Structure 1
């Protein structure tokens, strides 16, 4: 099994009409429940940029508040699934894409046997 990070960019859901937001939330929660029922769900969440700015903490401890001009995108939300192969991660990403009405990025997490 391998763990995959499924994400979408902040702002990717801006096209959704306010009255459709509850329906999108319900659809996304249904995919999460399906992933839980399938035993592949690890964790998921949306990122709140309204209450706290992103920050980078350097190796010297200096905190720099964002957003950063060099950043092309910020993550809007994510899910982590534990599946046998990339193809399965892509299938879950497709389900999230339909539910959230936006494209999803899929990346395999590096395996660390000590974690």
Structure 2
């Protein structure tokens, strides 16, 4: 088994569409989560607060600079995630295809490497 992160990415437009049908979206999302729990693949699932409530810590200069949200010209915002434990990337993709999402949203599928795959410092 491998861990995969399904990252929910939305635009201002897809987020507005989701909010317009929030009751239906929440019902569909609860059903989706129940399906993942029944299948034994869900490890965690969380949504994130409005991006205007966040900050960005930018390490481009000599000292980190903190900027309040929203993030200027960002076209896609990370809105939440599902962490799955599945047999393959293909299985993760099949779950990603079932995520209740508004038109224009995207789901990024990324494998989470095991601790034995992370480079270790010598010494």
Report the TM-score, using the length of structure 1 for normalisation. 0.76
Q: How does 1:1-115 map to 2 (within 5 A)?
A: 1-11=1-11, 12-16=14-18, 18=20, 20-49=21-50, 52-56=53-57, 62=64, 64-65=66-67, 66=69, 67=71, 73-96=76-99, 99-101=100-102, 102-113=105-116
Report the TM-score, using the length of structure 2 for normalisation. 0.72
Q: Which has the larger radius of gyration?
A: 2
Contact 1:56 / 1:64 at 8 angstroms: preserved in 2?
Answer: yes
Q: Which runs of 4+ in 1 moved over 3 A?
A: 60-63
Q: Deviations over 1:35-92 (max 9, x none)?
A: 111111011111112562133275x9845225266x5532012111010101110111
List alignment gaps of at least 5 residues for structure 1: none
How many aligned residue pairs are there? Answer: 110
Cα RMSD for the two superposed structures: 2.7
List alignment gaps of at least 5 residues for structure 2: 118-123
Q: Deviations over 1:76-114 (max 9, x none)?
A: 121110101011101110110xx2233311111121149
Quick one: distance in 2 between partners of 1:50 and 1:73? 11
